[in-house]
Structure 1
Amino acid sequence: MRTMRSALLLLGLGVAGCAPDLREDYPFDGQASSGQLVTVTPREDGSSHALIDATNKSAQVYFDIDEGREMKTDEALDTNGWDLAFQRYTVTMNGGGGNPTGQVRVAVLEGQDWDALATAPTEGYQQDASEPVFNGVHGGWYTYDLVKHRLATREELLYVVRSSAGRFFKVQMLSYYDDTGTPARLSLRYQQLQAPTAAP
């Protein structure tokens, strides 16, 4: 019996030694950047690609989707002109729980083809409540793999953002990791839509 217990103990230690190191693989770890936190690249199809450095665990990155740029915290709060804010895997909007004085609203579309969506929908717009729309509606923008400890984006979800300036944009979350595998460096694409035929 003692021999069997010893063998099981050694086997358990061997398996534990092969397990992934959560300090490296855990998706909510990362180094904060003091440089440019938003990089926007226009695409030939009229859309834009945004890379958001949201690695700082204690600060939000404010994004003005109308102008396609980062808003520093003081400017964002003073002007109330920001649209989306990113902090690790959490995406909030300038409206509702994210900011009760904000006018941003978001509609979530499931199974909608990106290219086929040219006009914003007339209904379905929400503001953040106890949980952000991006993280809660239709199960949120990502799935979490408990074995690999990684986030995977749900590209079947499209978000239509009614911005602080009253314009409409379709948004698709693309990745939580950059090309080197660093977490909380989110990629998304967005493109302006025609306004809906009736005001939402």
Structure 2
Amino acid sequence: MRTMRRTVLLLGLAVTGCAPDLRTDYPFDGQVNTGPLVEVSPQEDGSSVTLIDATNKSSLVFFDIDEGRELKADEAFDTNAWDLAFQRYTVTMNGGGGNPTGTVRVAVLKDASWDALTSAPAEGYQQDASEPVFSGVEGGWYSYDLVKHRLVPRDELLYVVQSSAGQFFKLRMLSYYDSAGTPARLSFRYQPLPAPSVLTAALPAP
């Protein structure tokens, strides 16, 4: 059963939409980072800023947003407690195409203020399908500068994640590059939200 579940999960995560080829920006040399793949920095306002090292093209970084930590692959498969997975610029969720047995859902809010969003919306939640929600809904979480060959997060998009534990978090992508300019070291900000008083069913997958 575990082998079958792992096969389905990996097949689902392999399905991604069109995205720019960033090899000219940062040619991967096969080296694997031996340091932490997830670094979470709590902020004074109750939010957290997370840095994900997704530079390895051949592996996924699993993140448990409820506990604010990385889950290694074996733990992610065994517990099914991961919420988001990162591989270069691709972000998938533990639900739908990312994993049919997962319950994570995500709502995408356009032009929503971070400070004004004080509780989770009651509707608009989706799961991944042939294309991840983070890549396909409202044009995806990034735009691509064809002149500078750089990926730029879209500040107007705010995500609300309903986690594998049923909790809610608002999330905004901050950068595809770290402070040294290294690509595929993504950062995002997230913060818990109160649940809506009434929660509607998920929308059809995109």
TM-score range, shorter chain: 0.7 to 0.9
What is the aligned partner in structure 2 of residue 14 from structure 1? none
Measured in 1, the distance between the counterparts of 2:95 and 2:188 equals 20
The residue that corresponds to 2:145 in the other structure is 145
Q: 1:132 corresponds to which residue?
A: 132
Residue 157 (structure 1) aligns with: 157
Code of the residue aligned with 2:123 in structure 1: it is E
Q: Distance in 1 between matches of 2:110 and 2:71?
A: 29
Are the equivalent residues in 2 in contact too, given 1:29–1:183 (CA < 8 A)?
A: no
**Residue 118 of structure 1 pairs with residue 136 of structure 2:** no
RMSD: 1.4
> Which residue does the alignment assign to 1:78?
78
The residue type paired with residue 162 of structure 2 is R
Q: Is the Cα contact below 8 Å between 1:39 and 1:52 reproduced in 2?
A: yes
* Cα drift, residue 146 of structure 1: 1.6
TM-score (norm 1): 0.86
30-39 vs 129-138, which moves further: 30-39
Match of 1:34 in 2: 34
Q: Judging changes above 3 Å, is the alpha-carbon distance between structure 1 residues 135 and 152 closer, same or farther for their aligned structure 2 residues?
A: same
Secondary structure at 1:170 match in 2:
strand
Q: Which has the larger radius of gyration?
A: 1
Using the alignment, how far apart are the partners of 1:90 and 1:194 within structure 2?
28
The residue number in structure 1 matching 2:197 is 197
Task: State whether residues 28 and 88 of structure 1, in contact with CA within 8 Å, keep that contact through their aligned partners in structure 2.
Answer: no
Contact 2:28–2:56 (CA under 8 A) maintained in structure 1: no
Distance in 1 of aligned mates of 2:26 and 2:86: 15
Q: TM-score, normalised by structure 2?
A: 0.83
CA apart distance, 1:26: 1.4
**What stretches of structure 1 of length at least 5 have no aligned partner?**
1-21
Structure 2 gap segments, 5+ residues each: 1-21, 201-206
Structure showing the higher helix proportion among its residues: 1
Amino acid of the structure 1 residue aligned with 2:38? V
Once the two structures are TM-superposed, the CA of residue 155 in structure 1 deviates from its matched residue by 1.1
- The answer to whether the aligner puts 1:174 opposite 2:174 as a matched pair is yes
* Residues 139-178 of structure 1 deviation map (CA, whole Å, 9 limit, x = unaligned): 0000011221110000110000000000000000000000
Task: Tell me which residue corresponds to 1:8.
Answer: none
CA contact (8 A) 1:38 1:70 kept: yes
In the TM superposition, residue 81 of structure 1 has moved relative to its aligned partner by 0.1
Question: Do 2:49 and 2:190's aligned partners in 1 also have CA atoms closer than 8 Å?
Answer: yes
Structure 1 partner of 2:64: 64
Q: Which amino acid aligns with 2:25?
A: Y
Cα separation, 2, equivalents of 1:123 and 1:28: 41
Moved beyond 2 Å, runs of 4+: 27-32
Q: CA deviation at 1:34?
A: 2.4
Number of equivalences: 178
